[in-house]
Amino acid sequence: MSASMDIIFSSYQQHLLTILCFFFLLYLHRRRTPPGALTNWPIVGMLPGLAVNVHRLHDFVTEILGHSNRTFLLLGPWFSGMKLLITCDPTNINHIFNVNFHNYPKGHEFSENFDILGDGIFNADHESWRSQRKKTQLLITQPRFLSFVTLCSRDKVGNFLLPLLRQLSEQNKIVDLQDVFLKFSFDVSCNLVFGIDPASLSPDFTIVPFAMAVDEATTTILHRHVVPPSWWKLMRRLKLGREKKLADALCVIDDFIAEMIQKRKQESNRADSSNDNLLTAYINDDSTADDRFLRDTTLSLVTAGRETIGVALAWFFYLLCKNPDKEAKLVEELRHGAEEPVYLQAALCEALRLYPPVPFEAKGVAEAENLPSGQRVEPGTQVLVSIYTMARMEEVWGKDCLKFRPERWITEQGSVRHEPAYKFMPFNCGPRTCLGKGIAFAELREVAMAVVREFRMEIVEGHVVEPKLSIILQMRNGLKGRAMRREP
């Protein structure tokens, strides 16, 4: 008994010493390391510096890449397997996503980090990905589905979003405008994918467990990217901390989707079924598709649509609030009823450039090679592309890169300027370019035109707006403000 106690006590002392050393290194890092630098410490690698700055991860990565010629190798603790090559260099991005696309699959590490999506299109590689992409592209380009997209978006804007904003304006009520736009895009996405409107966009702001569970899952996924894989996998096995929250969220997600699948399968057997949602389309296209495939596919699609559109709208209106001169130009264009609102499209592109809804893209490495910037990558390295940082590099976007300037997107002829996708990639680029890009822009334009014509947003004085630690670039504190009616 005494020997066992001695072993336990000795183990306790070792762990305590490790923890004390870790925090001592954190202290040294704060004292000695200048902004934009990381120290590679013995044993713990660069983890102390990362831990100190993880709350401001996106801006921290921008500082690092700004001091490292836009590419940096981040090393985790020894024997942890944590090796991240972070880049925002357009030449590297073009090489990875286009020139040598097949050498940079999503990889095993990616599918492990995003295991909630199962074998859906975002996790898939090689033949599975090609097959899923071909089928999805066929279904979402059908004229019937495109008409359904327009119908859903206009109905939600005209009959729900605008009436809600009018009510809030009359009451002079402060709300989280980001939450409003997320609820809008969640309802539209659920309608397009599942054929059901959860009606979360309502005056009482109904809480939908499925939406909350998706939020919890995306937060945990980013957490997995900034700690050694062995750590979060142990937490997952023991169901501790964030991994416990993720496990609970998965139960909610799976139960909701299972109910949707059964409902749509029952309807598809009826001769009078006329539902135009994607789940029904998948079931009708392949009656042998198993529930797991349908679950993984629909979760991938609804997550992509719900998060990205809502977040893009929140940042768009935030930028209009901060730049009243640009907002005035946009109002002028919309009130003159331009058939092709060029300035609106330019303003949307500029908002997506500065605040891409998906701030990172991750890739694995199949075979060792040198990138155009000179760094060598090899199997076991995970490549992380910071889209958020690329917008903040003067070498890429010029000295005014931090400014919201829609004019950079307008040519001398008055049309919208085209930029290569490896430079402007809120919709990814290369063979994996987002299939819903056209649908996303259509939905963004629909909301922006309707809301800007009738309302201006006013942010609460002193409210701090900054990116949240998540794989989707949500605002950490939301967007607290008022909707103010414009003069006719």
For the annotated binding site for heme, the residues are 434
State the CB neighbour count (10 A cutoff) for residue 176. 18
DSSP string, 432-477: G--TTHHHHHHHHHHHHHHHHHHEEEEEPTT----B-SSSS--BTT
Burial 5-33 (b: 16+ CB within 10 A, else e): eeeeeeeeeeeeeeeeebeebbeebeeee
Beta carbons within 8 Å of 134's beta carbon, 6+ residues apart: none
Q: Which two tokens stand for residue 261?
A: 């699948």
Instruction: Provide the annotated binding site.
Output: 434
DSSP tag of 388: H
Residue with token string 């990905």: 129
Give the C-alpha separation, 18 to 26, whole Å: 12
CA–CA separation, 307 and 471 (whole Å): 10
Distance between CA atoms of residues 280 and 287, nearest Å: 10
Neighbours of 57 (CB within 10 A): 21
DSSP 8-state code for residue 284? H
Residue listed under structure tokens 């910037």: 373
Q: Which of 240, 179, 239, 243 is nearest to 211 (CA)?
A: 179
Concatenating the DSSP letter of every residue in 188-255 gives HHHHHHHS-----SSTT----HHHHHHHHHHHHHHHHHTS-HHHHHHHHHHT-HHHHHHHHHHHHHHH
- The 10 Å Cβ neighbour count of residue 53 is 20
> Exposed, middle or buried, 124 (CB in 10 Å: 0-12/13-18/19+)?
buried
CA distances from 400 to 288, 335, 392, 403, 477 (A): 54, 29, 9, 5, 27
Residue of 335, 333, 313 whose CA lies nearest to 487: 335
Which of 134, 180, 189 minimizes the C-alpha distance to 300? 189
3-state secondary structure of 375: coil
CA separation for the pair 63, 179 (Å, rounded): 29
**Neighbouring residues of 256: CB distance < 8 A, sequence distance ≥ 6:** 209, 210, 213
Contacts of 59 (CB under 8 A, 6+ apart): 467
